[in-house]
Amino acid sequence: METWRSVAFPPFRLDLSSEQLWRDSQAIALRPKTFAVLRYLVEHEGQLVTKDALLDAVWAGTVVGDTVLKSCIGELRQALGDDVQKPRYIATVHRRGYRFIGPLGPLPDQSPGHRETSSPKLESVRKLAAILSADVHGYSRLMGQDEGGTIRTLTTSRAVMTGLIAQYRGRVVNAPGDNVLAEFASAVDAVQCAVAI
């Protein structure tokens, strides 16, 4: 079976080479993990994908809970205009997982007769361009003289860093203590994120 570079489920198109979701000619912004969840669901079109399988596939080697996955599914439903009660694209299988139910159609650059009837085999490509490590200067000293507001300030600082990482299309890999370690597919995004932090 050939490897597809993009998959259509009208009016949406999943462009795998640029990791972008499109609605007609309008690009729809998705966080990298949310895109990865959609890609995995589409790759397993019509099949029940358990929560554990999704967590293992998208967050391999990282400990995350169901809340993170639910957040990604919620973001996808909002982007697709999908309704949890009457889904057109992503159906929830209570307490088990999710199923992509959207009809995969012919790709815009292919003739209708060219589409294979089986699910597309999506190419797995991992490109890592840059790693960013950010931490709070003087963290140990600040924790030693906590006056009530220090922990709140550090929590806010971490939230700002992780928010900026997501904004610049990065992915938090690890976040011990005051440090946040993130990976980016673009070195430019990593540098811009570092400047913003």
Predicted confidence at residue 147, as pLDDT, reads 62
Predicted confidence at residue 75, as pLDDT, reads 94
pLDDT in tens, the chain (197 residues): 344 577 888 899 888 878 899 998 899 999 999 999 999 999 888 899 999 899 889 988 888 778 889 999 999 999 999 998 999 999 999 888 999 998 876 554 443 444 444 444 444 444 557 888 887 777 666 666 666 666 677 777 778 888 888 888 888 877 666 678 888 878 888 888 889 98
Query: Can you state the angle between helices 187-196 and 149-167, rounded to 10 degrees?
Result: 150
In whole angstroms, give the CA distance from residue 160 to residue 68: 18
Predicted confidence at residue 8, as pLDDT, reads 87
In whole angstroms, give the CA distance from residue 48 to residue 92: 9
pTM of the model: 0.54
Predicted confidence at residue 92, as pLDDT, reads 93
Q: Which domains does the chain have, with CATH numbers?
A: 3-122 (1.10.10.10), 130-196 (3.30.70.1230)
As given in the structure block, the two tokens for residue 42 are 């589409």
